[in-house]
Amino acid sequence: MSDPAAAQALAQLAARRWRVALLLTLAMLAIYFGFILLIAFDKPLMGQLLGEGLSLGILFGALVIVSAWVLTGVYICWANTHYDPQVRQLKNR
């Protein structure tokens, strides 16, 4: 890339992508390790039955999995609305 402005814009875009990815990764780690810490330190809470065959631990475990899907969806939406259009714009320069 010989255009310094385009190179600068690409570097800024890459830095923004890393920030979004890092933020979502930290969110997923907090959710996961929060769940693990609850299992480790509050077994009675996690073993509390909510209904026939459904404990709070099973519900939270399912929510950890769903949160991974939701955070992936957040990244996809961000990439489709912000990242990809800016990449196309830089390509067309």
Q: Which domain holds residue 73?
A: 4-91
pLDDT at 2 over 90: no
User: What are the residues whose beta carbons fall under 8 Å from the beta carbon of 59, sequence distance 6 or more?
Assistant: 50
pTM: 0.86
**Average confidence (pLDDT) over 77-81:** 97
Residue type, 36: I
Q: Rounded to the nearest 10 degrees, how much is the dihedral formed by the CA atoms of 10, 15, 16, 21?
A: 130
Q: What is the pLDDT of residue 47?
A: 95
**Average confidence (pLDDT) over 5-16:** 91
Per the structure, how many domains does the chain have?
A: 1
- Let me know: does 17 contact 25? Beta carbons within 8 Å: no
What is the spatial distance between Cα 10 and Cα 80, in angstroms, rounded to a whole number?
Answer: 17
